[in-house]
Structure 1
Amino acid sequence: MRPFPKHQSGLTFISLLLLLLVIGFFATVTIKCLPLYLNQMKVSRSLHAIAEDAELSSSDAVTIREHLHRRWLIDSVDGLRPEDVKVRRSAAARSLVYAYEARTSLFYNIDVVIRFSGDVPIRLPSIE
């Protein structure tokens, strides 16, 4: 007959509950924050497409914002308006600059706030 071990190993019920609680918390945060990051990806993709468009490289800010507005209507972008995108001019080039906060409710009265910003250089007009 084998003697009983002096120390048991493995998860107890309480440690299993704590592990599931931690996993559940991080799953909730991921599920709530994922749409914000997907929206940011649409914003970034649209701005890069506008900045690389050869026809818009020498356009004014109003025309660029109109094209951006059309793209964002198609892509269903939330949280940022075309008016919030600034066209910054420097001596060497122009760029599209944006900064915004995305907010979502985690649970009850706790919110998650994520700040996004970017600076996308506009392609220089080609000389033909």
Structure 2
Amino acid sequence: MTSTAKQQQGLTLITIIFILAILGFFVLLGLKIGPIYMNHSKVVNALSAVENMVDVETMSKHEIMSSLNKRFGMNYVDKVTDEDITITKHDDYLKVAIVYERVEKIMGNLSVLVEFDESFETGDK
């Protein structure tokens, strides 16, 4: 079997550069977005720990906020402020919600917005 050089052509230099550029973009995207989700998992763990506390229903709003802030401090959680935390409490009902968003600059004028909404409820409404 004989084949000509035209039939044996591989990737051109431009194609290789294009593929590397696309791969580089997705690696950059992963490096920028990955820490956001790692930080969010720490927020979820702190919220879960507060939910599993034995006396959470009897705690005041200030005590719940303080407990969350201590857990955020221990886990180096940043970008979650007291304004992002909503505590609704009346009678036997308690709802703690953390709603926040992160904007991360990728490059130039390209940014990514990630929105998070986590909450738990205990007691009767």
With normalisation by structure 2, the TM-score equals: 0.84
What is the root-mean-square deviation in Å for CA atoms of aligned residues? Answer: 2.3
- Cα distance in 2 for partners of 1:112, 1:90 equals 38
Which protein, 1 or 2, shows the higher relative CO under an 8 Å CA cutoff with sep ≥ 6? 1
**After the TM superposition, which of the residue ranges 88-97 and 76-85 deviates more from structure 2?**
88-97
The 5-angstrom pairing of residues 55-70 of structure 1 reads 55-70=55-70
Structure 1: state its 5+ residue gaps: none
- Cα 1:7–1:73 shift into 2, 3 Å: same
1:85-119 deviation digits (Å, cap 9, x = unpaired): 11234788422112111122211232221111112
- Cα distance in 2 for partners of 1:65, 1:76 equals 16
Instruction: Give yes or no for the alignment of 1:112 onto 2:81.
Output: no
Identity %: 25
**After the TM superposition, which of the residue ranges 107-116 and 83-92 deviates more from structure 2?**
83-92
Query: Deviating runs (4+, > 3 A) in structure 1?
Result: 89-93
* Alignment coverage as a number of residue pairs: 123
User: 1:94 aligns to what?
Assistant: 94
User: 1:30 aligns to what?
Assistant: 30
With normalisation by structure 1, the TM-score equals: 0.83
Q: Which secondary structure does the structure 1 equivalent of 2:79 belong to? A: coil
Contact 1:65 1:83 in 2 (8 A): no
Q: Which secondary structure does the structure 1 equivalent of 2:57 belong to? A: coil
Contact 1:51 1:57 in 2 (8 A): no
Task: Specify which structure has the higher proportion of helix.
Answer: 2
- Cα 1:58–1:92 shift into 2, 3 Å: closer
